Amino acid sequence: MFTFRRIRFFILMVFLTSLSACAMGRTNLVDTGAVDVQVENTPKISIQGVTVLADQEETIVYGRVRRLGVYNNPFSGRQVTAKAVFPDGSIHEKADTLLTRTPRARGFRSIYPVANFKIVFSEQLPRGTDLVLSFGNRFRSDG
């Protein structure tokens, strides 16, 4: 009986999540092939789980950054930069300096710090756009 309640709750949550995603009206431009994402990773920095969602007014880029070898305040003074190269050759660049650390599970100490980022473009990215993501200092591009 207790397990059945958990299964019902899980099914209900999946249904509500899918319903809310459809209600938002945002499409994932990476899944549809409208945007090609290129990530500039280094041996000590990796950008993962990139999602590009768009609606009529804006485009939002979500993802995670993982840093290796830096444990004390690993995201201070750093930013994720998204450079959108449109098919006509014009370039729009945005950055997110407010990286939020992902919560750790209780009793588990993560060896490699991970942070989430969110970058908002005020327009919908056109089809055929190349999106280049990089992580580095605010005034220099090295990691």
Q: Domain with 109 in it: what CATH number?
A: 2.60.40
Does 64 map to a domain? yes
d(CA 33, CA 43): 28
Domain region containing 126: 27-137
Kindly state the average pLDDT of the residues 79-87.
Answer: 92
Does 56 map to a domain? yes
Kindly state the average pLDDT of the residues 57-64.
Answer: 90
Total domain count, the chain? 1
Is it the case that residue 66 has pLDDT exceeding 70? yes
| Residue in 63, 60, 100 with CA at minimum distance from that of residue 78 | 100
Does 9 map to a domain? no
Side by side, the strands of the sheet bearing 59-67 are 27-28, 45-54, 59-67, 114-121, 100-101
Kindly state the average pLDDT of the residues 56-80.
Answer: 82
pTM, to two decimals = 0.70
Kindly state the average pLDDT of the residues 131-139.
Answer: 82
Q: What is the pLDDT of residues 89-100, one digit of tens each?
A: 999 999 887 676
| Residue in 92, 91, 89, 96 with CA at minimum distance from that of residue 50 | 96
Q: What is the pLDDT of residues 98-125, one digit of tens each?
A: 676 666 655 555 566 788 899 999 988 8
Does 96 map to a domain? yes
Q: How far is CA 119 from CA 15, 54, 133, in A?
A: 28, 12, 10
Does 70 map to a domain? yes
